[in-house]
Amino acid sequence: MSAASRILAVIVSQIVLGFVASADDVPALVPYPSKVRMLGGKSQTQSVKVLKDASLGSEAYRLSVRDDGVEIWCSSSAGEFYARKTIAQLRSDNGTLPCLDIEDAPHFSWRGVLLDESRHFFGKDVVKRILDRMSDYKLNLFHWHLVDSQGWRIQIDRYPELTKRGAVRPMPDWEHWIRDDGFGEYGPFFYTKDDIREIVAYAAARHIRIVPEIEIPGHSRAVIMCYPQFSCVSMDVFMDMIRTSGKYDQAGAVCLGNDDVIRFFENVLDEVCELFPYDTVHIGGDECPRDNWKNCPKCKARMKAKEIADASGLQSWATAHFVKYLADKGRRTVGWDEILQGGLAPGAIVMSWRGHEGGIAAAQSGHEVVMCPHLYCYLDYPTGEKDDRCAYPQFCFLEKRRLPLEKVYSFNPYEGMPKEHHRYIVGSQSLNWTESTWSEKDLAYKMWPRTCANAEVLWSGPGARTFNDFQSRLKRCNSARWD
């Protein structure tokens, strides 16, 4: 290739990437900014001046690097924070910065990471390290899966049994696919209210909000182990369902005909809302077994009194009840896409995990959607790398599920959706389910760098960059160095 051809190739590549041609390399930034103009040369400056520009969005910023200083324009502290994260990535080992101009803003407002601590508990130091890494890549939402059938991990003053007994799991667990390193009783492991407050403050300082998840009405075996009266069946039958292959799922749903169950979750949500000063609470709603409700006198009485046709409608009634309950407390409700079944109360946010279909249906009905289909976003699926020695759930291998880095990067939250409904897609997230993840080492391997790929899709928008370009920048990125 001639010298002229090489120069032309550089110019074309830079136009495609959205910045003005320069002899300099593409800066090693992840996620990549909306617009970059390379000016040539290096700056030794340590001086940073922050200027307000009310016309910019709350997370947007402009950045200018010159020989005599750095200037940041923003409308909020979040914009300044992200600009400083960009500066940190730009600064070389010798302290210099490339001279350039950047205009930047996120494509999606919901850029998240889920951590499941019901199955395995990691503790606040690990959570803080995750929050640190999230902030490096401009991720702004931590979805904290604190309760499930395998353990209750948050202190609730009104119900001390939840952490006295619900935070303990017998070992080996009754579900053999939940793997643990060793044997013996697991727990009690949970977060005190002081722990929660500490982590909330730590996240807020990094412009990360936390969405806590309290599962209603399924995935509730830990609740029933503490309060057997909340089940539709006797404790003997409940334990038999757990021990009998193929039936244990039916043990996971509380009795929706029991007024005490409704009051229990209201009281729990009261304390949760006091701890988390954000506008969104997740109430689960996925994979809820309903067979017990069909034969339960209390559930049948509830359905008759409310003129509910079937068990699916009973769950819809419960979802609508808690959507309104949380709305009265100034909170929005988010739930997994199963909450669409039987109709969904206005204002609820749908988290579409079984594919794009649930999110498309929700958007068509005017609901906001967090699009996180498992085949693109579930980090409990193997990476496909030859040196991957982590444990994974057996179903991943039976169903040949793999989630390599390139597939994560190819994710398009708008796939299959008419353009007029794109406005309802607020974002997505990476999800770390931990049935087979019990150490921070394995958790970090599964999270990174796949979460970096998801972060760039959510900040830059799907299809804005190429995977080869992303991979090249990731290898050179200062903040992308992990053990």
Q: Of the candidates 196, 254, 257, 191, which has an alpha carbon nearest to the alpha carbon of residue 223?
A: 254
Q: Which domains does the chain have, with CATH numbers?
A: 3-104 (3.30.379.10), 110-447 (3.20.20.80)
Pairwise CA distance, residues 173 & 150, whole Å: 9
Clarify whether 421 is annotated catalytic.
no
DSSP assignments along 240-293, one per residue: HHHHSTTTGGGGG---TT-HHHHHHHHHHHHHHHHH--SSEEE----S---HHH
pLDDT tens for the 483 residues of the chain, in order:
444 444 444 344 444 444 443 434 689 999 999 999 999 999 999 999 999 999 999 999 999 999 999 999 999 999 999 999 999 999 999 999 999 999 999 999 999 999 999 999 999 999 999 999 999 999 999 999 999 999 999 999 999 999 999 999 876 555 665 766 665 678 999 999 999 999 999 999 999 999 999 999 999 999 999 999 999 999 888 888 877 655 556 678 999 999 999 999 999 999 999 999 999 999 999 999 999 999 999 999 999 999 999 999 999 999 999 999 999 999 999 999 999 988 888 889 999 999 999 999 999 999 999 999 999 999 999 999 999 999 998 888 878 899 999 999 999 999 999 999 999 999 999 999 999 998 999 999 999 999 999 999 999 999 999 999 999 999 988 655 444
Q: How far apart are alpha carbons 131 and 126 in whole angstroms?
A: 9
What are the DSSP calls for 212-229, one per residue? EE---SSS-HHHHHH-GG
Amino acid at 385: E
Residue with tokens 């300099």: 24
pLDDT of residue 478: 61
- The whole-number pLDDT of residue 390 equals 93
What's residue 268's pLDDT? Answer: 98
Its pTM stands at 0.93
380 catalytically annotated:
no
Which one of 120, 143, 219, 282 is the catalytic residue?
A: 219
Instruction: Write down the catalytic residue from 287, 291, 388, 406.
Output: 287
64 pairs with which residues across the strands? 71, 101
Q: b/e for 119-152, b at 16 or more Cβ within 10 A?
A: bbbbeeebbeebbebbbbbbbbbbbbbbbbbbbb
Using omega within 30 degrees of 0 as the cis cutoff, is the peptide bond preceding 31 cis? yes
Catalytic residue among 80, 101, 116, 148: 148
- Sort residue 258 into left (φ over 0), alpha (ψ -120 to 50) or beta: beta
User: What pLDDT shows up at residue 20?
Assistant: 43
- Which structure tokens are listed for 64? 């200018």
CB atoms within 10 A of CB 15: 11
Alpha-carbon distance 248 to 267, whole Å? 27
Told to judge if 388 belongs to the known catalytic residues of this protein, a careful annotator would answer no
